[in-house]
Amino acid sequence: MDYILTNKKLSPFVNDTKVFRGYNVTTDHYLLISKICLPKKWYTFTKRSRWQDKIFWVYLLKDPSIKLLYQGRLEQNLMHSPCSLNTDVELQTLKNTLQQAVNEALGKRKREDTKSI
């Protein structure tokens, strides 16, 4: 026999368990699938970073003057950014440089402001 093992806290949330005999496996076991409905307190949420909280007006890059401004700010910020042999530090510097150029050229708004659009 094949089993689905749970602890005492999880066992009331097991809704359905099915056995699939048709799968060709070299052992004498069968495939078991169990449906478990977890309550909301068991869900984990990842915290959003500051980068995701902002929405940039990227459509403004269609305008040639703003596109030129963004390219100039990016070149200027890249020239003044320090170089490093550590790839993690270099990646973080590049992210900060890109974000600074976008902030200066395109502008941003908070996520709450997009509900009205």
Task: Report the pLDDT value the prediction gives residue 1, as an integer from 0 to 100.
Answer: 60
The residue range of the domain holding 30 is: 11-39
Name the nearest CA neighbour of 38 among 17, 10, 16, 18. Answer: 10
Task: Report the pLDDT value the prediction gives residue 54, as an integer from 0 to 100.
Answer: 60
Residue 97 sits in the same domain as residue 65 = yes
How far is 53 from 115, CA to CA, in rounded Å? 13
Residue 103 sits in the same domain as residue 66 = yes
Residue 34 sits in the same domain as residue 54 = no
21-71 pLDDT, tens per residue?
Answer: 776 667 777 778 888 888 777 666 666 555 555 666 777 788 888 888 888
Q: Considering only residues 116 and 5, tell me which one the structure prediction assigns the higher pLDDT.
A: 5
Q: Is the pTM of this model over 0.75?
A: no
Residue 111 sits in the same domain as residue 54 = yes
Residue 54 sits in the same domain as residue 103 = yes
73-115 pLDDT, tens per residue?
Answer: 888 888 887 787 888 888 888 888 888 888 888 776 554 444 4
Task: Report the pLDDT value the prediction gives residue 109, as an integer from 0 to 100.
Answer: 57
Count of the separate structural domains present in the chain: 2
What is the 3-class SS of 50-66, one letter each residue?
A: HHHHEEECHHHHHCHHH
How far is 1 from 97, CA to CA, in rounded Å? 60
Q: Is the dihedral of CA 100, 77, 96, 99 positive or negative?
A: positive
Residue 33 sits in the same domain as residue 70 = no
Residue 117 has pLDDT above 50, yes or no: no
Task: Report the pLDDT value the prediction gives residue 31, as an integer from 0 to 100.
Answer: 79
Residue 27 sits in the same domain as residue 59 = no
Residue 29 sits in the same domain as residue 81 = no
Residue 2 lies in a domain: no
